[in-house]
Chains A and B, each alone.
Chain A
């Protein structure tokens, strides 16, 4: 339960961080909050040669609205975002989902960007990122690129970020006016990773659905968004029976695995129940 030896660097500029990552072929790891990384190091699942601590890099701990997006920097902690009035307004789904994320001391350290890079299949925030069409800003020592959330999550603990890249910012489009949202989850203990979690947003036009998003965690190797099922909501009146039908279609579209916390069949049934609840909440909050 003790990590293997590693070298430690604590650069004071982003350039220096990116330089340290280049040419290491994955043997260097960034530590921000360390709330997922250090357990893996303690278990020796991960044994990086070099740990690059970004906690003293200036100007990474921010969240602000810029160019019509909520922009969240690499050192912005869960606690800050959970308590933020700005997040509540700009991305109410994220605010709602944060009520389910981890526990105080873990949120004090953990960062949103670190959480997304860790890409735990049962984590809440990747599902939120998918549902709100977030964009990841990745940077390496030679330049930067953006990757949409639906191309970022690739597998269990696997993302599109290359070994020399750092997720420097997450960009979230501002919630459109009148959009309703919902988030429901079942976990063994509140704050633990979800067995299944469901996120949903809806917009109505004249009582009929004009936009819909649904995302799930805990139902596959990464968070997923059953886009084809969402589309079946468009143009329909979202009464309970329609929402139940769509939730059932989501459950049919996923292929969850069985593990110690539940069988595939149980997870599918949870997805059905939780998607319906999230959609009903979203409907009730449409303006």
Chain B
């Protein structure tokens, strides 16, 4: 089973690698690229902790092989913001207590990011639907919904200011 050469962009950085076809994208990001922000919970698509954006669309990285994203643009939680400058979503999760243990947070942030890009003014129901495939075992869903609603407001205010 030969290794396959792939080229892709991860968090705006060009990457080249040789990978076995069986290598999951989640493991490629964590172990080969040293980006452990993408969490691995169930490894069968149920928990959503491993969501990343592929060309702007949320995918389960545990149900994707690294070879499949050859040529794609990936955004992981590390690509959202930095410690010094948090993304508005990260800021809102901090302010609204949208995380407790933090395990589900990267996956929550990535689906929230996809939701707000498509729908800048979501209802609470839209938010609940968007995170319905994400498990939070601290059961902190109420504050997660609150955080995403708050981030939406921040992002709307920022884009109005820019306009």
Contacts and interface: CB of A to CB of B under 8 A. Distances in A.
Interface of A: 1-8, 10, 31, 34-35, 38-39, 42-43, 51, 53, 55, 102-106, 108-109, 189-191
B24 interface: yes
Given A38-B44, A42-B43, A51-B21, 8 more contacts: A2-B27, A5-B22, A8-B21, A10-B68, A34-B65, A38-B64, A53-B68, A106-B63
A5 B20 contact: yes
A133 to B, nearest CB: 31
Contact of B45 (A7, A10, A38, A190): A38
Interface residues of B, number: 31
B44 A42 contact: yes
B59 interface: yes
Contact of B44 (A1, A51, A53, A102): A1
Given A103-B132, A105-B60, A191-B132, A39 B21 contact: no
Contact of A108 (B4, B22, B58): B58
B74 interface: no
B73 interface: no
Nearest to A109: B59
B35 interface: no
A109 B45 CA distance: 11
Contacts of A2: 22, 24, 27, 43
B60 A106 contact: yes
A-B pairs, 8 with minimum CB distance: A103-B133, A8-B21, A39-B44, A1-B43, A38-B63, A105-B58, A5-B1, A3-B22
Nearest to B63: A38
Nearest to B115: A104
Interface string B9-49: 00000000000111010010000000000000001110010
Nearest to A34: B63
B143 to A, nearest CB: 20
B62 interface: yes
A131 B70 CA distance: 39
B132 A108 contact: no
B67 interface: yes
Contact of B57 (A42, A102, A103, A108): A108
Contacts of B62: 38, 42
B77 to A, nearest CB: 14
Given A7-B1, A39-B44, A106-B133, A55 B68 contact: yes
